[in-house]
Amino acid sequence: MAEILETDIVIIGGGIAGLWLNYRLRTAGYSTVLLERQSLGGGQSVRSQGIIHGGTKYALHGALTNASNAIADMPARWRACLKGEGDVDLTSARILSEHHYMWSRDRLMSKLTSFFASKAVRGRVEADDLEHRPEAFKDPGFHGNFYALNEIVVDVPSVINSLTSPFGDGIYQYDCAQHSSLELDNGKVNDLQLFGKNKRVRIKAKRYILAAGEGNESVLHSAQLQGPAMQRRPLHMVVVKHHYPHPIYAHCIGSGSKPLLTITTHYMADGQPVWYLGGNLAETGVELDKQTQLDSAKTIVKELLPWIDLGDAQWNSFMIHRAEPQQNAMLRPDSAFVHQSENIITCWPTKLALTPNLVDEVFAKLKQDNITPGAETDYNQLKFLNRPTVSQPVWEDLLS
């Protein structure tokens, strides 16, 4: 016989979206159960570059879209949380850089310089200021333009930790795409079944929220649910462990609308710096095998940062997908995506930065349906499940 467990909300997936949602729901008085297949943040979140975009990179061609306007509030939302003044407390999370930057290898064409001086980007971009430039760009060998963006870079594992620790009691390890976990009744979820060795628990909730990133597709599929379609955007990311002492958090822009290269700097457990390389390098590199991608990364780094010698650096690369709702012609989705069908909410933040926006949208849906806190959850009934740990950064596996 299965036991019945009541809770207000079930969340499937413990990435940034599921964990931020869980935190906000618990602080608002809802009871929740969050189920994570493997490790917390171990899908896209901990592998992201941690840039809290304000939309500037999407506005490179001068025309600010709704996308860039929707995302413009996000750095301020995150900064408030990092200061302990926002809707989640991220005071114990680490800021890697107070600014993300943009540089060009050569002096920019006048079209782009006037764009950076224009009303459209006012408040998002500060013009060049030699005194405040990061050390790496004070080198006399650098001759391009340089801008500070009103964007921060965060250490994602520490963010995941801050979101997890206050409400870890309701977080468990379970793969919800196995054993047809979601039991349906006329397109509505009746309950979510968890199978242990000698135990079966049916969780009954008011809403079932799918925040499983790329895994949303298989959770929907295993329950034979017709959810919103998903797209995967592949990236071939490069990691470099080296001894160059000055951190870089910046996009290099050329004449196109996408950054040629995006560099963020992280630190191994032993304190050694690691560059994490994305941007166009990662997008175009999906067709390349590892060796060819590493060769092209070395070439582009030499070309765009000729004054920096990485010496005997250790290089590696890996493939990953960004998971997003299906868009025409694989365009980047504009804002967080939240879709409801009956008592199932499926969501993708589409960017780490847009997570507060996603959570607002979910709360709006709960309010609209008058879903209020109420159920008492007895977590003792789930003692048979393991607890997931926070994922470690990919460079610890690839560069140790």
Q: Which residues bind ligand FAD (CB under 6 A)?
A: 12-18, 35-38, 41-45, 47-51, 53, 175-177, 211-215, 218-219, 235, 237, 278, 320, 322, 348-353
Closest by Cα among 130, 143, 62, 144 to 102 = 144
Tell the smallest beta-carbon distance from residue 355 to ligand FAD (Å). Answer: 7
Distance, CA of 194 to CA of 386 (rounded, Å)? 12
Of the pair 36, 361, the CB lying nearest ligand FAD is at 36
Of the pair 38, 343, the CB lying nearest ligand FAD is at 38
Of the pair 53, 207, the CB lying nearest ligand FAD is at 53
Tell the smallest beta-carbon distance from residue 347 to ligand FAD (Å). Answer: 7
Max CA pair span of the chain: 74
Tell the smallest beta-carbon distance from residue 210 to ligand FAD (Å). Answer: 9
Of the pair 14, 254, the CB lying nearest ligand FAD is at 14
Tell the smallest beta-carbon distance from residue 109 to ligand FAD (Å). Answer: 26
Tell the smallest beta-carbon distance from residue 312 to ligand FAD (Å). Answer: 26
Closest by Cα among 99, 160, 94, 95 to 127 = 99
Of the pair 15, 273, the CB lying nearest ligand FAD is at 15
Tell the smallest beta-carbon distance from residue 321 to ligand FAD (Å). Answer: 7
3-state secondary structure the chain: CCEEEECCEEEECCCHHHHHHHHHHHHCCCCEEEEECCCECCCCHHHCCCEECCCHHHHCCCCCCHHHHHHCCHHHHHHHHHCCCCCCCCCCCCEEECCEEEECCCCCCHHHHHHHHCHHHCCCEECCCHHHCCHHHCCCCCCCCEEEECCEEECHHHHHHHHHHHHHHHEEECCCCCCCCEEEECCEEEEEEEECCCCEEEEECCEEEECCHHHHHHHHHHCCCCCCCEEEEEEEEEEEECCCCCCCCEEECCCCCCCCEEEEEEECCCCCEEEEEECHHHHHHHHCCHHHHHHHHHHHHHHHCCCCCCCCCEEEEEEEEEEEECCHHHCCCCCCEEEEECCEEEEECCCHHHHHHHHHHHHHHHHHCCCCCCCCCCHHHHCCCCCCCECCCHHHHHCC
Of the pair 108, 350, the CB lying nearest ligand FAD is at 350
Of the pair 14, 356, the CB lying nearest ligand FAD is at 14
Of the pair 14, 259, the CB lying nearest ligand FAD is at 14
Q: Name residue 339's amino acid.
A: H
Of the pair 105, 322, the CB lying nearest ligand FAD is at 322
Tell the smallest beta-carbon distance from residue 264 to ligand FAD (Å). Answer: 7
Tell the smallest beta-carbon distance from residue 234 to ligand FAD (Å). Answer: 9
Tell the smallest beta-carbon distance from residue 120 to ligand FAD (Å). Answer: 21
